[in-house]
């Protein structure tokens, strides 16, 4: 089916802004906080309410579209046929609960597996990153530049300290030598914000061990639209229906770090 991407884009932007207002309003209310896979994996009534809001609105306007959402109010999505929305209603829930900032709404819209539209909304900063395939990426009304070349020595790398101490998943020494080489490191606690920052050139690389499709779907569309690269740690394309380690970055930083630190 032919989609009207202009219409979908307008619909998504206004829905995201409305969802953002709901979240801001919730700051005056007492949150109901629960844990999921472990004691530090938090979910609140707002994560659920916002996802439900999107799913109901999408199903109403676009009944043939499928929705893959973190909190499970959408569809059971196991393939990428047709038009699929991949939604994280609040990415950075721990920040949302503890800091009331540094969290984002993330949405990627894919057609037959191709990223068509991407959105990351940093609600408190009121920064909406948005991209449409072939038509550029924007931060609010401002067009984002294509990513230029940055030497690894001048790169700012986003990495969580967990991967720099002995851990079960990766050889921390390998990451430590990369950290010593780059200009600086950061960690914001929201994959979506970190990916948006890559697209905006505020970060040059982001390395993380386990993300779900809703963490990176919106960011993938944004990053690819400005000429950045987003893959797993071996340089393979990310699956839109499976969890994966993720390495995103400026193309020069991505290719050198992949070759020298990750591939073997």
Report the interface residues with ligand IPD, using CB under 6 A.
88, 91-93, 189-191, 208, 210-211, 215
Whichever of 131 and 196 has its CB closer to ligand IPD, that residue is 196
Q: Which residue is nearest to ligand IPD (CB)?
A: 191
Secondary structure tally for the chain: helices H, strands E:
7, 14
Q: Considering beta carbons, is residue 91 or 225 the nearer one to ligand IPD?
A: 91
CA gap 90, 77 in Å, rounded: 20
- 122 annotated to a ligand binding site: no
Q: Quick check: 88 binds Ca ion (CB under 5 A)?
A: yes
106 vs 130: CA distance, rounded Å: 10
Nearer to ligand IPD (CB atom), residue 12 or residue 208: 208
Q: Which of 70, 204, 224, 225 binds Ca ion (CB under 5 A)?
A: 70
The contacts of residue 260 (CB under 8 Å, 6+ apart) are none
256 assigned to a ligand binding site: no
Shortest distance, position 104 Cβ to ligand IPD, whole Å: 9
Q: Give CA–CA dist 9/13, Å, rounded.
A: 6
On the CB side of 52, CA atoms within 13 Å amount to 7
**Binding residues for Ca ion restricted to 209-248, rule: CB under 5 A:** 215
Q: Which of residues 51 and 204 has its CB atom nearest to Ca ion in the complex?
A: 51
What six digits make up the tokens of 48?
Answer: 């659920």
| Both tokens assigned to 163 | 């991967």
Question: 162 vs 174, which CB is nearer to ligand IPD?
Answer: 162
Find tokens 């079960």 and name the residue.
Answer: 168
CA dist., res. 190 & res. 98, Å (int): 13
Cα atoms in the Cβ-side hemisphere of radius 13 Å centred on 160: 17
Choose from ligand IPD, Ca ion, none: what does 189 bind? Cβ within 5-8 Å by kind: ligand IPD
Distance of closest approach, residue 153 Cβ to ligand IPD, in angstroms: 26
* Nearest approach, Cβ of residue 203 and Ca ion (Å): 17
Stretch that binds Ca ion, among 68-76, 125-133, 217-225, 230-238 (CB under 5 A): 68-76
- The nearer residue to ligand IPD, 169 or 210, going by C-beta atoms, is 210
CB of 49 to Ca ion, least distance (A): 12
- For residues 195 and 147, is the Cβ–Cβ distance under 8 A? no
Ligand-binding site membership of 204 (annotated): no
Which segment (21-29, 51-59, 88-96, 246-254) binds Ca ion by CB under 5 A? 88-96
User: Quick check: 91 binds Ca ion (CB under 5 A)?
Assistant: yes
* Continuous segment of H or E residues that includes residue 23: helix 5-26
Q: Is there a contact between 146 and 227 (Cβ–Cβ < 8 Å)? A: yes
Residue in the shown chain whose Cβ atom is closest to Ca ion: 91
| Cβ neighbours around 243 below 10 Å, total | 13
Q: Contact 42/92 with Cβ under 8 angstroms? A: no
- Annotated binding residues for Mg(2+), as ranges? 70, 88, 90-91, 215
The residues that touch Ca ion, with contacts defined as CB under 5 A, are 70, 88, 90-91, 215
């Amino acid at each position: 089916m032919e989609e009207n991407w202009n219409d979908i884009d307008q619909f998504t932007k206004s829905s995201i802004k409305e969802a953002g207002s709901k979240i801001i309003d919730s700051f005056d209310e007492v949150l109901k906080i629960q844990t999921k896979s472990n004691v530090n994996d938090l979910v609140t009534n707002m994560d659920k309410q916002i996802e439900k809001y999107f799913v109901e609105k999408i199903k109403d306007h676009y009944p043939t579209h499928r929705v893959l959402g973190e909190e499970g109010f959408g569809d059971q999505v196991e393939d990428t046929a047709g038009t699929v929305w991949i939604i994280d209603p609040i990415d950075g829930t721990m920040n949302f609960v503890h800091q009331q900032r540094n969290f984002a709404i993330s949405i990627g819209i894919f057609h037959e597996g191709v990223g068509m539209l991407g959105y990351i909304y940093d609600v408190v900063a009121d920064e909406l990153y948005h991209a449409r395939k072939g038509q550029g990426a924007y931060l609010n009304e401002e067009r984002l530049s294509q990513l230029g070349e940055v030497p690894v020595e001048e790169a700012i790398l986003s990495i969580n300290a967990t991967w720099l101490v002995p851990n079960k998943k990766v050889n921390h020494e390998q990451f430590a030598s990369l950290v010593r080489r780059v200009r600086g490191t950061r960690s914001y606690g929201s994959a979506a914000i970190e990916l948006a920052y890559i697209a905006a050139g505020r970060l040059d690389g982001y390395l993380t061990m386990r993300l779900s499709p809703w963490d990176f779907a919106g960011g993938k569309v944004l990053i690819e639209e400005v000429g950045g690269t987003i893959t797993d740690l071996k340089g393979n394309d990310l699956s839109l229906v499976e969890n994966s380690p993720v390495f995103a970055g400026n193309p020069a930083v991505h290719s050198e770090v992949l070759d020298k630190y990750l591939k073997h």
